[in-house]
Structure 1
Amino acid sequence: MKKILALVLALALVLSCASALAAKVGVSMPTKDLQRWNQDGEYMEKLLTEAGFEAELQYASNDVPTQLNQVETMIDDGCEVIVIAAIEGSSLGAALDKAAEKGVKVIAYDRLLMDNANVDYYATFDNFKVGVVQGEFVEKALDLANAAGPFTFEFTAGDPGDNNAGFFFNGAMSVLKKYIDEGKIVVTSGQTEFADVATPTWKTDVAQKRAEDILTANYADGKKIDAWVCSNDSTALGVTNALEDNYDVDTLGWPIITGQDCDIANTKNMIAGKQSMSVFKDTRTLAAQVVKMVGQILAGETVDVNDEETYNNNVKVVPSFLCDPVFANAENYKTILIDSGYYTEDQLQ
């Protein structure tokens, strides 16, 4: 009898492990238009597969109804956990409600899902710190604490539909606003509020058009720009494109331009002296953390979080895991990006 019981228990354990290994996990990414989402999706799919899960990866072409439909289909397909990087944080309520009804756990990935209680966890980088890193880089580069000034600045922020965009902008402003108030920083366009400097869907061409308008209206007389604080690389690329065609960089030099994500085009611009820095959020670290959280959820274990205070989605404070960002520039990009295996030398030629 003891042998039979042992065999039954062993068989149950094998079946339990097989069930866990066969668990399906949905990954909903916003778009393939930005390099980073391709990297995030592909790397997470790879890690999930290596961990023994069945991964269902979808990209939503920056179309909210498409993402809503994709997430609902993942639920119908039997996904037990769904990881969502939202196009617009408040637009997936119906899918989140459906997930809760079906017992499906939801992890918000790098963009907080807003206005719904059915968000179980959030995994991201310290988004306020991203902005702080950008602000401190500019502060140090211009020696704002000691230099007389005034210095001329412009700002380009991110998508108002992305909860992170406000954190990035406010983080940078936490460093720079005092210099604006003192008159040491002068924003010639007068655009210093998030609503005025935001870039819908983070699009390069939208950022470029706004930058061109600012340059035409405020800098046609050859006035120098000391810094243009951009929240990420797609917007920084738009600003750089506008400056190349509408600003005398040969005479005035490039302003300090910040960014985020270390996209290939922007890293090449850093090497060429056009963009000054980009905050590097190693998405391999974030993806690995999310896969770990997925495993903990499915195993019924305590899920790793390190922040249970900051990220309120207007309904609840979502338990979060925050990874630390660093910055890359022309001096350290080889160590940060190439030596770590994130890019090869050939990709940056």
Structure 2
Amino acid sequence: MRFRPAIAIATVLTVTMLSACTGGAEPTPSRTVLDLDVTGTVGITLPAGEGSRYLEAGSAIETLLTTWGATVDLRYSGPDPADQADQITAMVDAGADLLIVTPVQADALAQPLAAAREAGVPVIAYDRLIRDTPDVDYYVGFDRFGIGVQVGWAALSGLGLGDLNGDPTGALPDEPYPLEVFAGDLAAPDFYYGYNGTVRQVLELSAEQGSTTFGSGQSAPDAVATTDARSAAARMTQLLQTVYTEGVSLRAVTTAGDDIAAAVIASLRDHGLSPGSDQWPVVVGVGATTEGLRAIESGEQYATILTDDRLVHEAAAYLAASVLLGEQLDSLNVKDYDNGARTVPALLVPGTIVTADNLQATIIDSGYASRSEIG
């Protein structure tokens, strides 16, 4: 049976937040807040100093939970994990009924979380999985494996081999289409989720069927891992100079982020290739950044994967409310998120594939970004 990325609790959450489609055929739906009656105190500790992302997350989760009746103790931690451990201890001592934690260091919270367990306080890891402790009850974040699958689907779609939902078109080229993979940072905790989704689940199968091939022969994790845009540009340039010569055309490039896609695009241009020409490959990114969306509209990039933080905020708040209400969710992933000490039940938020054909619906009509922001 062909893999489908998780669409978590879509019908249970009348918020409709997680009914966002995994492919790109339908627009991201409007989001409607549930009317819940929740009591209890939720302690939240998130990293500070990492841009606005966690500031927005904390505010959004707090607003939802207080709207539903909960009390929220929201704190932001500096880069020292000892400071975050102290925050957790203080919130438990103050009577928190539930904790939501994004660790500043994934493996540094075993002691305060053991104390939380002893006090009967459940813990939700938000966005980053807390590692090496059995005292984590839930994880909520993006479906990184499913997003990796979507990257592969988008590449095959751009090549005319499948649609955005992963269904094959039945087309088979005379010769396999050469492609290249630029995965994320090998040291990142979620590297293998995205890598396995794109490479193991989609592209290796496509290669086995004779539809595509890894043009350079590079597909192992250490060969395709990409630490930053500069290293991506250097590798792309090297491949263009050594592999894609004498009539050999690169047909597709998958990347782990729109910033990496931009570096690949710059190298392609420096090599004398032009968007819209027969020699220009399908380029896929992740993140739906402003730069990535502009590249889609200009024809430089075929697709990106929208990861809408608003949906994760709402998923975290809903999961917290469900725990406080004593409700069981039947849509949790209970087999894939091993933190080194236990398999943590996970509430996963899917991505949405964005192309030029559905950018208006998925990005602008959904309120994710305005036309003026994209430019």
Which TM-score bucket, shorter chain as reference? Answer: 0.7 to 0.9
Which amino acid in structure 2 is aligned with residue 262 of structure 1?
A
2:297 matched residue in structure 1: 271
- 2:260 is aligned, of 235, 246, 258, to 235
SS in structure 2 of the partner of residue 217 of structure 1: helix
C-alpha distance 147-39 of structure 1, shift in aligned 2 (>3 A) = farther
1:191 matched to 2:215? The reply is no
SS in structure 2 of the partner of residue 20 of structure 1: coil
1:318 matched to 2:332? The reply is no
Structure 1 segment 141-160 matched on structure 2, within 5 A: 141-144=158-161, 145-160=171-186
SS in structure 2 of the partner of residue 54 of structure 1: strand
1:8 matched residue in structure 2: none
TM-score scaled to structure 2, two decimals? 0.73
Query: Structure 2: how far apart are the matches of 1:256 and 1:165?
Result: 22
Give the helix-richer structure, 1 or 2: 1
TM-score scaled to structure 1, two decimals? 0.77
Which amino acid in structure 2 is aligned with residue 288 of structure 1?
E
C-alpha distance 271-50 of structure 1, shift in aligned 2 (>3 A) = farther
Contact 1:156 1:230 in 2 (8 A): yes
Which range moves more in the overlay, 150-159 or 72-81? Answer: 72-81
2:4 matched residue in structure 1: none
Kindly state the Cα deviation for residue 320 of structure 1 after the two structures are TM-superposed: 1.9
2:148 matched residue in structure 1: 131
Query: Structure 2: how far apart are the matches of 1:261 and 1:318?
Result: 25
Contact 1:157 1:230 in 2 (8 A): yes
- 2:90 is aligned, of 56, 60, 76, to 76
1:3 matched residue in structure 2: none
Q: Any idea what the Cα deviations from partners look like across 1:121-178, whole Å, max 9, x if unmatched?
A: 1123333221222212212221345112332322111233444321211111211113
Kindly state the Cα deviation for residue 94 of structure 1 after the two structures are TM-superposed: 4.0
Which amino acid in structure 2 is aligned with residue 142 of structure 1?
L
Kindly state the Cα deviation for residue 229 of structure 1 after the two structures are TM-superposed: 0.7
Query: Structure 1: how far apart are the matches of 2:218 and 2:116?
Result: 41
Name the % identity: 25
1:56 matched residue in structure 2: 74
Contact 1:128 1:167 in 2 (8 A): yes
Contact 1:189 1:214 in 2 (8 A): no
Query: Structure 2: how far apart are the matches of 1:237 and 1:91?
Result: 35
2:9 matched residue in structure 1: none
Query: Structure 1: how far apart are the matches of 2:268 and 2:111?
Result: 43
Which range moves more in the overlay, 212-221 or 115-124? Answer: 212-221
Contact 1:165 1:231 in 2 (8 A): no
Greater RCO, CA 8 A, separation 6+: 2
SS in structure 2 of the partner of residue 307 of structure 1: coil
1:111 matched to 2:128? The reply is yes
SS in structure 1 of the partner of residue 291 of structure 2: helix
Q: Any idea what the Cα deviations from partners look like across 1:69-108, whole Å, max 9, x if unmatched?
A: 3253243244543323446644443443344344432212
Query: Structure 2: how far apart are the matches of 1:258 and 1:290?
Result: 28
Contact 1:49 1:55 in 2 (8 A): no
Contact 1:89 1:161 in 2 (8 A): no
Query: Structure 1: how far apart are the matches of 2:288 and 2:56?
Result: 12
Aligned length: 319
Instruction: Give the root-mean-square deviation of aligned CA atoms.
Output: 3.2
Which amino acid in structure 1 is aligned with residue 274 of structure 2?
D
Unaligned runs of 5+ in 2: 1-36, 162-170
Kindly state the Cα deviation for residue 28 of structure 1 after the two structures are TM-superposed: 1.7
1:216 matched residue in structure 2: 237
1:249 matched residue in structure 2: 273
Q: Any idea what the Cα deviations from partners look like across 1:290-316, whole Å, max 9, x if unmatched?
A: 101212333444356432233232322
Query: Structure 1: how far apart are the matches of 2:310 and 2:367?
Result: 11
Contact 2:65 2:321 in 1 (8 A): no
Kindly state the Cα deviation for residue 329 of structure 1 after the two structures are TM-superposed: 1.3
Which amino acid in structure 1 is aligned with residue 128 of structure 2?
R
